């Protein structure tokens, strides 16, 4: 029998046929009038998803490239920065910042917990930071941070707010302008329902003030050069044109559905996954009040290896689940329920798990 695949990892996600089809069009001149229109449409569409009027750059990379661009355009070597580390992607911010020789402090929260506002405020009172880095949604633990409250406290201490919403955007509300988020990063392969290869970075007026003083080395990721070209409807370098075709179509789908409805359907999938897993007696890593709308992290039953279970489920049913990362490797498995994911997909994943535990 032909094995059908159910890709239930938290990105790359499944891609709708409508999006796949438009990406097989022929190439066009990336400095010609047709591309100018596409770039404008895609930029405007993504800005609506970010809820921002700030500058927004579309760059040819996975999410980590967007994180690096967010750092090198606002900081200099030796700058004091703080990372709210609630999982593997907080740890990634620390690694990139150290690679560019920022002076990094981190608050490492217990895995499965969100960043606690009072703890963050205490740290901000102790030391002056130029910027604070945090995740909207921490994919490795399935936890959603309260970005609105965290940003409010960070702004009180006049630090730049840099948010990684790579797996959060579109799965849960994020109000870039209303919440005063200076730099926000997202990527194509998550709830945008596209293959990997594009990241999106919004950049506020305050971020541009930081840019004017930032001395970290940058060339390909330089936002001033990107802005100069974007004003002409171009990118500084050859963009992945096919992904832009796909992005235009993905934005159409999101607009047809309406962003608020998309948030609601992600909540529904999250609740369905959590209820189903709990009814099997499985323990979830995150509690209900901080549960991610994009991914659910779960412990296997006592005596069952998480990775062995995933392997069996993949081989028998074609359901692909994600494993644990860093400290949680081999201890948990994760179900992605974001982007082009339907209730039926979650039902199939839950049924496969139920049969094998
Ligand atoms: C929260 C978060 N940040 C950043 C990334 C960036 O990773 P990548 O470079 O693999 O897209 C990911 C990808 O899984 C993510 O989930």
Write the pLDDT tens digit of every residue in 106-150: 999 999 999 999 999 999 999 999 999 999 999 999 999 999 999
Structure tokens at 237: 């370098």
Strands 319-320 and 6-7: parallel
Question: Is the CA virtual torsion 220, 222, 223, 224 positive or negative?
Answer: negative
Mean per-residue pLDDT over the chain, rounded: 98
Q: Which of 84, 91, 95, 139 to mutate to test the pocket of ligand 1 (most atoms within 8 A of CB)?
A: 139
Cα separation, 351 vs 78, in Å, equals 52
- DSSP H helical ranges for the chain: 17-22, 33-50, 63-72, 88-99, 117-126, 147-156, 205-213, 223-230, 241-257, 259-279, 306-317, 343-356
What are the tens digits of pLDDT across the range 252-277? Answer: 999 999 999 999 999 999 999 999 99
Q: pTM surpassing 0.75? A: yes
Q: Which letter, b or e, does each residue of 55-78 get, where b requires 16 or more Cβ atoms within 10 Å of its Cβ?
A: bbbbbebbbbbbbbbbbbbbbeee
Atom of ligand 1 nearest to the CA of 189: 11
Structure tokens at 137: 């949604």
Cα of 166 vs centre of ligand 1, distance in Å, is: 6
Tell me which residues have their CB closer than 6 angstroms to ligand 1.
Answer: 11, 62-64, 89, 135, 139, 164, 166-167, 187
- Number of C-beta neighbours around residue 54 at 10 A: 20
pLDDT at residue 1 in the model: 72
What are the tens digits of pLDDT across the range 320-339? Answer: 999 999 999 999 999 999 99
Atom of ligand 1 nearest to the CA of 164: 3
Cα of 156 vs centre of ligand 1, distance in Å, is: 28
Q: Which of 9, 11, 88, 334 to mutate to test the pocket of ligand 1 (most atoms within 8 A of CB)?
A: 11
Q: Which domains does the chain have, with CATH numbers?
A: 6-13+259-356 (3.90.1150.10), 17-255 (3.40.640.10)
What are the tens digits of pLDDT across the range 163-203? Answer: 999 999 999 999 999 999 999 999 999 999 999 999 999 99
- Average pLDDT of the segment spanning 346-350: 98
Atom of ligand 1 nearest to the CA of 199: 11
Residue 2: pLDDT above 80?
no
* Residue nearest atom 13 in ligand 1 by C-alpha distance: 63
What are the tens digits of pLDDT across the range 281-305? Answer: 999 999 999 999 999 999 999 999 9
Q: Is 204:182 a contact under the CB 8 Å cutoff?
A: yes
Residue 3: pLDDT above 90?
no
What are the tens digits of pLDDT across the range 89-118? Answer: 999 999 999 999 999 999 999 999 999 999
Atom of ligand 1 nearest to the CA of 61: 9
pLDDT at residue 77 in the model: 98
* Share above pLDDT 90 across residues of the chain, in percent, rounded to a whole number: 99
């Amino acid at each position: 029998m032909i094995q059908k695949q159910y890709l239930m990892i938290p990105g790359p996600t499944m891609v709708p046929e409508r999006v796949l089809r438009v990406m097989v069009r022929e190439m066009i001149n990336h400095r010609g009038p047709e591309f100018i229109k596409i770039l404008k449409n895609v930029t405007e569409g993504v800005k609506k998803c970010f809820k921002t009027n700030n500058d927004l750059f579309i760059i040819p990379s996975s999410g980590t490239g967007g994180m690096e661009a967010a750092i090198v355009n606002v900081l200099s070597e030796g700058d004091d920065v703080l990372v709210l580390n609630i999982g593997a992607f907080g740890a990634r911010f620390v690694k990139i910042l150290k690679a560019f020789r920022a002076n990094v402090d981190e608050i490492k929260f217990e895995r499965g917990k969100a960043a606690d506002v009072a703890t963050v405020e205490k740290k901000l009172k102790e030391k002056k930071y130029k910027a604070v880095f945090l995740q909207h949604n921490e994919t490795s633990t399935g936890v959603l941070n309260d970005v609105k409250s965290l940003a409010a406290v960070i702004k009180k201490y006049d630090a730049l707010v840099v948010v990684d919403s790579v797996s959060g955007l579109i799965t849960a509300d994020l109000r870039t302008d209303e919440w005063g988020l200076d730099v926000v990063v997202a990527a194509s392969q998550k709830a945008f329902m596209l293959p990997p290869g594009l990241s999106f970075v919004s950049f506020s007026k305050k971020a541009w003030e930081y840019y004017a003083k930032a001395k970290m080395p940058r060339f390909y990721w330089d936002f001033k050069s990107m802005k100069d070209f974007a004003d002409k409807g171009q990118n500084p370098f050859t963009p992945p044109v096919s992904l832009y075709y796909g992005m235009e179509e993905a934005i159409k789908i999101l607009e047809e559905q309406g962003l608020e409805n998309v948030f609601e359907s992600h909540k529904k999938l999250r609740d369905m996954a959590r209820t189903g897993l709990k009814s099997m007696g499985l323990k979830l890593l995150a509690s209900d009040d901080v549960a991610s709308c994009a991914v659910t992290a779960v412990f296997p039953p006592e005596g069952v290896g998480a990775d062995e279970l995933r392997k069996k489920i993949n081989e028998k049913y074609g359901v692909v689940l994600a494993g644990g990362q860093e400290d949680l490797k081999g201890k948990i498995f994760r179900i992605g329920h974001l982007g082009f994911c339907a209730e039926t997909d979650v039902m199939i994943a839950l049924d496969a798990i139920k049969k094998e535990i």
